[in-house]
Amino acid sequence: MSSDDTSRLKSQIRGVFEGGGYVFATKAANIARDAGFTNPARLASNENPFGISDAAVNAAKEALDSGNRYPDETADSLVKALAQYHADCGVKLNVVTGVGMDGVIENVIRTIIGAGDKVVVSTPTFSFYNLAVTAQGGVVQNVRRREDFTVGVPEFVGACRGAKIAFLCSPNNPTGTITPVEDIEEILKGLLKEGCMLFLDNAYVDFCDTDYRRLMKDYDNLIIGRTMSKAFGLAGMRVGYAFVPDWYLPYYKRAQTPFALNNISIAAAVGALSDREFVRRYVNHVKEWRDAFGAGLKYKVYPAGANFVMIDVAPQKSDDVVAKLAKKGVIVRSCASFPTLGDTFIRVSIGDSWENEMFLKAMNEI
């Protein structure tokens, strides 16, 4: 093909995809590998360091035999298992599923956002909302958190005038900040008057003691996103879900790709939900080490409700610190790519004990 042909074809691609896309933490991993570490401390992606529950593995293996069949398009076994898992909250919850919470977010945006529609995002935060909104032709207005990364409720509600949906992450990635339930409630009331939805991202909620589920009873403009990638250790299985209001349920289903989840991920997720002890053990481990990170470093460690902490390494630069740690076999995430956050923050996942010890030692050496 001539380069003219290629250029002509390339010009058909929508402008929104000319940008950078999602930032993966590969640079640090390459540095660690080049320094000779075959088994570095992997503290960049908030994964469960204890692996995957046996119950999930066994269920997934069994599901391989049904690989010739299309999955149940309603993922009914998973929806039922999730409803049962959450029965303790005492509120009837409508559960929808997706290919990771990322898949849920994409699908929600697809139901609401068209070209030029306004979306508000509480920043600094997880970058995928912005990418998914932009891909759909929507326009993001970032609303900055306060200096201490808490959410300024009046500013946030004020910015949502004319917006169709707003995204707020709690505990927030990458700052770890928990927004109190009362603040979310106030936001929901303010947004309801504007006909604006709130997508509350609860990817890390298992690691804190704040519970937002009861809000589903009273607020028709709330969607709560959840994932099995973090506490349940199923990042590679791509299982996300959400609680949605009654009226919204049929729209979500209509917009979803048929057969979004596959037989194996559905089975693995159902298996994982049956092993509460696995999750409990991991969550306790995270809470203990989160405190140890807070006490064991000479830098400012932000209070976090997640399986990671954010650390201000000023006056050093985050990219430099990440490179230095990688040379010592510790992979963490620089937050320099998070818009509005500045260039002195790193995000460190709570890993297995040996990884955490390796991090503390390396951090105090540099």
Ligand X SMILES: *Cc1c(COP(=O)(O)O)cnc(C)c1O
Binding site for ligand X (CB under 6 A): 100-102, 126, 169, 173, 201, 203, 227, 229, 235, 240
How many helices (H) and strands (E) would you count in the chain? 13, 12
Residue 170 or 318 having the CB closest to ligand X: 170
Residue 283 or 366 having the CB closest to ligand X: 283
Computed from CA positions of residues 168, 171, 175, 180, in that sequence, does the dihedral angle turn out positive or negative? positive
Retrieve residue 342's tokens. Answer: 């500045």
Helices 263-274 and 276-295, axial angle in degrees (round to 10): 80
Residue 164 or 333 having the CB closest to ligand X: 333
Residue 202 or 329 having the CB closest to ligand X: 202
304: left (phi over 0), alpha (psi -120 to 50) or beta: beta
Question: Minimal distance in Å, beta carbon 95 to ligand X?
Answer: 14
Closest alpha carbon to 107 in 200, 225, 217, 215: 225
Question: Minimal distance in Å, beta carbon 84 to ligand X?
Answer: 20
Residue 172 or 328 having the CB closest to ligand X: 172
Question: Minimal distance in Å, beta carbon 338 to ligand X?
Answer: 11
Question: Minimal distance in Å, beta carbon 8 to ligand X?
Answer: 35
Question: Minimal distance in Å, beta carbon 173 to ligand X?
Answer: 4
Question: Minimal distance in Å, beta carbon 103 to ligand X?
Answer: 7
Residue 203 or 363 having the CB closest to ligand X: 203
Number of Cβ within a 10 Å radius of residue 23: 13
DSSP per residue, 55-111: HHHHHHHHHHTTTTSPPPTT-HHHHHHHHHHTGGG-S--EEEEEEHHHHHHHHHHHH
Burial class (CB in 10 A: 0-12, 13-18, 19+), 312: middle
Torsion on CA atoms 123, 124, 127, 129, rounded to nearest 10? -10
Retrieve residue 4's tokens. Answer: 């003219």
Closest alpha carbon to 278 in 41, 114, 54: 54
CA 122 to CA 287: how far, in whole Å? Answer: 26
Question: Minimal distance in Å, beta carbon 60 to ligand X?
Answer: 16
Residue 167 or 248 having the CB closest to ligand X: 167
Select the residue whose beta carbon is closest to ligand X and give its number: 100
